[in-house]
Structure 1
Amino acid sequence: MKVAVVRVRGTVNVDGRIKTTLDLLKIKYKNNCNVVELDDTYKGMINKVNSYVTYGSIDKETFKAMLLNRGEILSQNEPKDAGTEKINDKTIKSLNPKFNSVDEFVDAFFENKAKLSDINLKLPFRLTPPTKGFEKKGIKIPYTQGGALGNRKTAINDLLKRMM
Protein backbone atom coordinates (compact mmCIF):
# COMPACT_ATOMS: atom_id res chain seq x y z
CA MET A 1 0.00 0.00 0.00
CA LYS A 2 1.33 3.44 -0.94
CA VAL A 3 1.24 6.14 1.71
CA ALA A 4 1.60 9.89 1.26
CA VAL A 5 3.51 11.55 4.10
CA VAL A 6 3.13 15.35 4.41
CA ARG A 7 5.14 17.45 6.84
CA VAL A 8 2.79 19.77 8.72
CA ARG A 9 5.01 21.40 11.34
CA GLY A 10 8.12 23.52 10.81
CA THR A 11 11.82 23.13 11.55
CA VAL A 12 12.30 25.18 14.75
CA ASN A 13 13.14 23.32 18.01
CA VAL A 14 13.03 19.85 16.42
CA ASP A 15 14.91 17.08 18.22
CA GLY A 16 17.95 15.83 16.31
CA ARG A 17 16.71 12.25 16.02
CA ILE A 18 13.36 13.39 14.66
CA LYS A 19 15.06 15.76 12.23
CA THR A 20 17.21 12.89 10.95
CA THR A 21 14.14 10.70 10.48
CA LEU A 22 12.34 13.48 8.59
CA ASP A 23 15.43 13.84 6.37
CA LEU A 24 15.37 10.08 5.69
CA LEU A 25 11.72 10.40 4.68
CA LYS A 26 12.84 13.25 2.37
CA ILE A 27 10.45 15.77 3.88
CA LYS A 28 12.82 18.43 5.16
CA TYR A 29 10.49 21.43 5.12
CA LYS A 30 6.87 22.26 5.90
CA ASN A 31 4.33 21.25 3.18
CA ASN A 32 6.75 18.77 1.60
CA CYS A 33 5.26 15.42 0.59
CA ASN A 34 6.71 12.02 -0.24
CA VAL A 35 4.99 8.81 -1.32
CA VAL A 36 6.39 5.61 0.17
CA GLU A 37 5.53 1.92 0.34
CA LEU A 38 4.21 1.14 3.83
CA ASP A 39 6.53 -1.59 5.11
CA ASP A 40 7.95 -2.19 8.59
CA THR A 41 10.80 0.27 8.11
CA TYR A 42 8.59 3.14 7.04
CA LYS A 43 5.97 2.29 9.69
CA GLY A 44 8.60 2.78 12.38
CA MET A 45 9.84 6.01 10.84
CA ILE A 46 6.32 7.42 10.52
CA ASN A 47 5.47 6.45 14.12
CA LYS A 48 8.61 8.25 15.31
CA VAL A 49 7.69 11.54 13.55
CA ASN A 50 3.94 11.23 14.11
CA SER A 51 3.78 14.61 15.86
CA TYR A 52 5.24 16.43 12.83
CA VAL A 53 3.49 14.78 9.87
CA THR A 54 0.14 13.68 8.57
CA TYR A 55 -0.20 10.59 6.40
CA GLY A 56 -2.66 8.25 4.75
CA SER A 57 -3.17 5.89 1.84
CA ILE A 58 -3.07 7.71 -1.49
CA ASP A 59 -5.14 6.66 -4.50
CA LYS A 60 -4.00 6.52 -8.13
CA GLU A 61 -6.03 9.53 -9.24
CA THR A 62 -4.53 11.84 -6.61
CA PHE A 63 -1.01 10.54 -7.22
CA LYS A 64 -1.35 11.15 -10.95
CA ALA A 65 -2.63 14.69 -10.34
CA MET A 66 0.26 15.33 -7.96
CA LEU A 67 2.76 14.05 -10.54
CA LEU A 68 1.35 16.26 -13.29
CA ASN A 69 0.88 19.40 -11.17
CA ARG A 70 3.78 19.27 -8.75
CA GLY A 71 6.19 16.64 -10.08
CA GLU A 72 9.55 17.79 -11.42
CA ILE A 73 12.11 15.77 -13.34
CA LEU A 74 15.78 16.53 -12.94
CA SER A 75 17.20 17.42 -16.33
CA GLN A 76 19.83 14.94 -17.41
CA ASN A 77 22.15 17.42 -19.11
CA GLU A 78 22.47 19.79 -16.16
CA PRO A 79 24.02 19.49 -12.70
CA LYS A 80 21.73 18.19 -9.97
CA ASP A 81 20.32 21.55 -8.83
CA ALA A 82 20.36 23.36 -12.19
CA GLY A 83 16.96 22.83 -13.77
CA THR A 84 13.82 20.79 -13.85
CA GLU A 85 11.18 19.79 -16.37
CA LYS A 86 7.47 19.24 -15.92
CA ILE A 87 6.07 15.74 -16.27
CA ASN A 88 4.04 14.69 -19.30
CA ASP A 89 3.75 11.63 -21.56
CA LYS A 90 6.64 12.76 -23.75
CA THR A 91 9.12 13.22 -20.90
CA ILE A 92 8.14 9.91 -19.26
CA LYS A 93 8.70 8.04 -22.53
CA SER A 94 12.06 9.73 -23.17
CA LEU A 95 13.34 8.93 -19.67
CA ASN A 96 12.15 5.34 -19.52
CA PRO A 97 10.99 3.58 -22.71
CA LYS A 98 9.07 0.98 -20.64
CA PHE A 99 6.36 3.55 -19.99
CA ASN A 100 4.44 5.18 -22.84
CA SER A 101 2.32 7.45 -20.67
CA VAL A 102 1.88 8.81 -17.19
CA ASP A 103 -1.00 6.37 -16.62
CA GLU A 104 1.25 3.38 -17.35
CA PHE A 105 3.87 4.66 -14.92
CA VAL A 106 1.28 5.26 -12.18
CA ASP A 107 -0.14 1.75 -12.62
CA ALA A 108 3.34 0.21 -12.50
CA PHE A 109 4.23 2.29 -9.44
CA PHE A 110 1.16 1.10 -7.52
CA GLU A 111 1.92 -2.51 -8.50
CA ASN A 112 5.52 -2.08 -7.18
CA LYS A 113 6.95 -2.63 -10.67
CA ALA A 114 8.39 0.89 -10.88
CA LYS A 115 10.07 3.38 -8.56
CA LEU A 116 10.00 7.16 -8.57
CA SER A 117 13.71 7.08 -9.40
CA ASP A 118 12.93 5.29 -12.71
CA ILE A 119 11.81 8.62 -14.19
CA ASN A 120 14.46 10.70 -12.39
CA LEU A 121 11.82 12.41 -10.24
CA LYS A 122 12.93 15.21 -7.95
CA LEU A 123 11.76 14.51 -4.41
CA PRO A 124 10.00 15.73 -2.35
CA PHE A 125 6.84 17.10 -3.90
CA ARG A 126 6.79 20.77 -2.88
CA LEU A 127 3.16 21.60 -2.14
CA THR A 128 1.44 24.85 -1.20
CA PRO A 129 -0.38 25.36 2.10
CA PRO A 130 -3.91 23.92 1.85
CA THR A 131 -6.72 26.12 0.59
CA LYS A 132 -8.89 27.13 3.56
CA GLY A 133 -6.14 25.90 5.91
CA PHE A 134 -5.67 22.76 7.92
CA GLU A 135 -8.33 21.48 10.27
CA LYS A 136 -10.05 23.73 12.79
CA LYS A 137 -7.99 22.90 15.89
CA GLY A 138 -4.61 23.50 14.23
CA ILE A 139 -1.38 21.68 13.52
CA LYS A 140 -0.54 20.49 17.04
CA ILE A 141 -3.59 18.27 17.62
CA PRO A 142 -4.14 14.75 16.17
CA TYR A 143 -6.52 14.37 13.24
CA THR A 144 -8.81 12.13 15.29
CA GLN A 145 -9.40 15.03 17.71
CA GLY A 146 -10.01 17.64 15.02
CA GLY A 147 -6.40 18.64 14.32
CA ALA A 148 -4.01 18.01 11.45
CA LEU A 149 -1.46 15.43 12.69
CA GLY A 150 -1.35 11.66 12.34
CA ASN A 151 -3.13 9.07 10.25
CA ARG A 152 -5.91 10.36 7.98
CA LYS A 153 -6.45 7.09 6.10
CA THR A 154 -8.12 8.07 2.79
CA ALA A 155 -8.84 11.67 3.84
CA ILE A 156 -5.24 12.48 2.85
CA ASN A 157 -6.45 12.60 -0.77
CA ASP A 158 -8.71 15.57 -0.02
CA LEU A 159 -5.86 17.38 1.74
CA LEU A 160 -3.45 16.77 -1.15
CA LYS A 161 -5.97 18.10 -3.68
CA ARG A 162 -6.27 21.29 -1.62
CA MET A 163 -2.47 21.59 -1.50
CA MET A 164 -1.82 21.25 -5.25
Structure 2
Amino acid sequence: MIAAIRVRGTVHVREPLERTMEYLKLDAPNALVLLPENESTKKMLKKVENYITWGEISVEVLAKLLEKRARIQGNKKLGQEQLKICNANSFLELAEKVMKDESYLKKLGVKKPLRMRPPRKGYGREGIKKSFSVGGALGYRGQAINDLIRRML
Protein backbone atom coordinates (compact mmCIF):
# COMPACT_ATOMS: atom_id res chain seq x y z
CA MET A 1 0.00 0.00 0.00
CA ILE A 2 1.24 3.47 -0.89
CA ALA A 3 0.93 6.58 1.29
CA ALA A 4 0.93 9.88 -0.62
CA ILE A 5 1.26 13.30 1.03
CA ARG A 6 0.72 16.65 -0.64
CA VAL A 7 3.66 18.90 0.21
CA ARG A 8 3.15 22.06 -1.84
CA GLY A 9 0.17 24.41 -1.95
CA THR A 10 -2.50 25.15 -4.53
CA VAL A 11 -1.31 28.43 -6.07
CA HIS A 12 -0.13 28.42 -9.73
CA VAL A 13 -0.83 24.71 -10.26
CA ARG A 14 -1.63 23.85 -13.88
CA GLU A 15 -5.15 22.53 -14.55
CA PRO A 16 -4.23 18.93 -15.55
CA LEU A 17 -2.08 18.53 -12.44
CA GLU A 18 -4.77 20.03 -10.21
CA ARG A 19 -7.33 17.61 -11.68
CA THR A 20 -5.02 14.65 -11.05
CA MET A 21 -4.59 15.72 -7.42
CA GLU A 22 -8.38 15.98 -7.12
CA TYR A 23 -8.67 12.38 -8.36
CA LEU A 24 -6.14 11.36 -5.73
CA LYS A 25 -8.08 13.37 -3.07
CA LEU A 26 -4.98 15.46 -2.28
CA ASP A 27 -6.75 18.79 -1.96
CA ALA A 28 -4.59 20.64 0.59
CA PRO A 29 -1.01 20.67 1.88
CA ASN A 30 -0.25 17.98 4.49
CA ALA A 31 -3.15 15.82 3.28
CA LEU A 32 -2.40 12.07 3.25
CA VAL A 33 -4.17 9.35 1.27
CA LEU A 34 -3.68 5.59 1.20
CA LEU A 35 -3.63 4.18 -2.32
CA PRO A 36 -3.43 0.69 -3.82
CA GLU A 37 -0.15 -0.22 -5.44
CA ASN A 38 -1.01 -0.59 -9.14
CA GLU A 39 0.20 0.79 -12.45
CA SER A 40 -2.43 3.52 -12.89
CA THR A 41 -1.81 4.87 -9.38
CA LYS A 42 1.94 4.98 -9.97
CA LYS A 43 1.48 6.90 -13.23
CA MET A 44 -0.74 9.46 -11.51
CA LEU A 45 1.80 9.88 -8.70
CA LYS A 46 4.61 10.29 -11.23
CA LYS A 47 2.60 12.99 -13.02
CA VAL A 48 2.25 15.16 -9.89
CA GLU A 49 5.60 14.30 -8.27
CA ASN A 50 6.60 17.99 -8.13
CA TYR A 51 3.83 18.63 -5.58
CA ILE A 52 3.71 15.42 -3.50
CA THR A 53 5.83 12.78 -1.82
CA TRP A 54 5.00 9.08 -1.57
CA GLY A 55 6.29 5.69 -0.49
CA GLU A 56 5.36 2.29 0.93
CA ILE A 57 3.80 2.49 4.39
CA SER A 58 4.55 -0.10 7.09
CA VAL A 59 1.92 -1.90 9.18
CA GLU A 60 3.04 -0.31 12.48
CA VAL A 61 2.88 3.24 11.11
CA LEU A 62 -0.49 2.52 9.48
CA ALA A 63 -1.84 1.33 12.85
CA LYS A 64 -0.74 4.57 14.55
CA LEU A 65 -2.13 6.59 11.65
CA LEU A 66 -5.55 4.94 11.87
CA GLU A 67 -5.62 5.38 15.64
CA LYS A 68 -4.66 9.06 15.71
CA ARG A 69 -5.76 10.60 12.40
CA ALA A 70 -8.53 8.53 10.78
CA ARG A 71 -11.96 10.16 11.01
CA ILE A 72 -15.45 8.85 10.31
CA GLN A 73 -18.78 10.63 9.80
CA GLY A 74 -19.17 13.52 12.25
CA ASN A 75 -15.38 14.06 12.55
CA LYS A 76 -15.14 11.27 15.15
CA LYS A 77 -12.08 9.11 15.74
CA LEU A 78 -12.12 5.37 15.14
CA GLY A 79 -13.21 3.53 18.27
CA GLN A 80 -13.97 0.05 19.55
CA GLU A 81 -17.26 -0.12 17.63
CA GLN A 82 -15.45 0.28 14.32
CA LEU A 83 -12.87 -2.34 15.31
CA LYS A 84 -15.72 -4.78 16.03
CA ILE A 85 -17.18 -4.18 12.56
CA CYS A 86 -13.95 -5.55 11.05
CA ASN A 87 -13.49 -8.30 13.68
CA ALA A 88 -10.25 -6.73 14.92
CA ASN A 89 -9.11 -6.50 18.54
CA SER A 90 -6.54 -3.75 18.04
CA PHE A 91 -5.48 -1.11 15.56
CA LEU A 92 -2.51 -3.29 14.60
CA GLU A 93 -4.87 -6.09 13.51
CA LEU A 94 -6.99 -3.57 11.62
CA ALA A 95 -3.87 -2.21 9.88
CA GLU A 96 -2.89 -5.73 8.78
CA LYS A 97 -6.37 -6.27 7.32
CA VAL A 98 -6.27 -2.91 5.54
CA MET A 99 -2.86 -3.75 4.03
CA LYS A 100 -4.35 -6.93 2.54
CA ASP A 101 -7.66 -5.40 1.44
CA GLU A 102 -8.25 -1.64 1.26
CA SER A 103 -12.04 -2.08 1.20
CA TYR A 104 -11.99 -2.19 5.03
CA LEU A 105 -11.53 1.59 5.02
CA LYS A 106 -14.72 2.02 2.97
CA LYS A 107 -16.52 -0.47 5.23
CA LEU A 108 -15.62 1.66 8.25
CA GLY A 109 -16.51 4.91 6.48
CA VAL A 110 -13.07 6.50 6.90
CA LYS A 111 -12.94 9.91 5.23
CA LYS A 112 -10.27 10.73 2.66
CA PRO A 113 -7.87 12.50 2.94
CA LEU A 114 -6.35 12.17 6.40
CA ARG A 115 -5.46 15.65 7.65
CA MET A 116 -1.92 15.72 9.00
CA ARG A 117 0.14 18.28 10.90
CA PRO A 118 3.25 19.79 9.32
CA PRO A 119 6.25 17.57 10.16
CA ARG A 120 8.35 18.33 13.21
CA LYS A 121 11.80 19.57 12.12
CA GLY A 122 10.48 20.23 8.62
CA TYR A 123 10.48 18.27 5.38
CA GLY A 124 14.20 18.29 4.71
CA ARG A 125 17.29 20.42 4.50
CA GLU A 126 16.68 21.56 0.91
CA GLY A 127 12.99 22.39 1.47
CA ILE A 128 9.86 21.65 -0.53
CA LYS A 129 11.09 22.65 -3.99
CA LYS A 130 13.63 19.86 -4.59
CA SER A 131 13.31 16.11 -4.88
CA PHE A 132 13.98 13.71 -2.04
CA SER A 133 17.00 12.25 -3.82
CA VAL A 134 18.88 15.57 -3.51
CA GLY A 135 17.80 16.32 0.07
CA GLY A 136 14.40 17.92 -0.51
CA ALA A 137 10.88 16.70 0.11
CA LEU A 138 9.30 15.85 -3.26
CA GLY A 139 8.91 12.59 -5.15
CA TYR A 140 9.39 8.94 -4.25
CA ARG A 141 10.74 8.13 -0.76
CA GLY A 142 10.27 4.39 -0.40
CA GLN A 143 10.33 3.28 3.25
CA ALA A 144 11.48 6.76 4.39
CA ILE A 145 7.82 7.85 4.17
CA ASN A 146 7.29 6.08 7.52
CA ASP A 147 9.69 8.45 9.29
CA LEU A 148 7.91 11.46 7.77
CA ILE A 149 4.48 10.18 8.82
CA ARG A 150 5.72 9.59 12.40
CA ARG A 151 6.88 13.22 12.53
CA MET A 152 3.48 14.39 11.24
CA LEU A 153 1.34 12.47 13.78
Alignment of 1:109-148 (within 5 A): 109-112=98-101, 114-148=103-137
What displacement does 1:149 show?
A: 0.3
What displacement does 1:111 show?
A: 1.4
The one-letter amino acid paired with 1:116 is: L
The one-letter amino acid paired with 2:108 is: I
- Report if aligned partners of 1:108, 1:114 keep a CA contact under 8 Å in 2: no
Give structure 1 stretches of 5+ with no counterpart. Answer: 75-82
SS of aligned partner of 1:135: coil
Give structure 2 stretches of 5+ with no counterpart. Answer: none
- Report if aligned partners of 2:63, 2:94 keep a CA contact under 8 Å in 1: no
SS of aligned partner of 2:122: coil
The one-letter amino acid paired with 2:151 is: R
- Per the normalisation by structure 1, the TM-score is 0.88
- Report if aligned partners of 1:11, 1:29 keep a CA contact under 8 Å in 2: yes
Deviations 1:42-70 (A, max 9, x none): 01100100100000100011011011111
The CA distance in 2 between the partners of 1:57 and 1:115, in whole Å, is 18
The CA distance in 2 between the partners of 1:3 and 1:137, in whole Å, is 24
Structure 1 counterpart of 2:35: 36
- Per the normalisation by structure 2, the TM-score is 0.94
What displacement does 1:102 show?
A: 2.8
The CA distance in 1 between the partners of 2:46 and 2:141, in whole Å, is 14
Structure 1 counterpart of 2:14: 15
1:48 aligns with 2:47: yes
In the superposition, relative to structure 1, how do residues 44 and 159 fare at CA in structure 2: closer, same or farther (>3 Å)? Answer: same
Structure 2 counterpart of 1:162: 151
The one-letter amino acid paired with 1:115 is: Y
- Report if aligned partners of 1:8, 1:148 keep a CA contact under 8 Å in 2: yes
Point out the structure with max Rg over C-alpha: 1
The one-letter amino acid paired with 2:40 is: T
What displacement does 1:113 show?
A: 6.5
In the superposition, relative to structure 1, how do residues 141 and 61 fare at CA in structure 2: closer, same or farther (>3 Å)? Answer: same
Deviations 1:68-107 (A, max 9, x none): 1111011xxxxxxxx22111233332xx254454333211
What displacement does 1:114 show?
A: 3.7
- Report if aligned partners of 1:54, 1:152 keep a CA contact under 8 Å in 2: yes
- Report if aligned partners of 2:59, 2:92 keep a CA contact under 8 Å in 1: no
1:108 aligns with 2:94: no
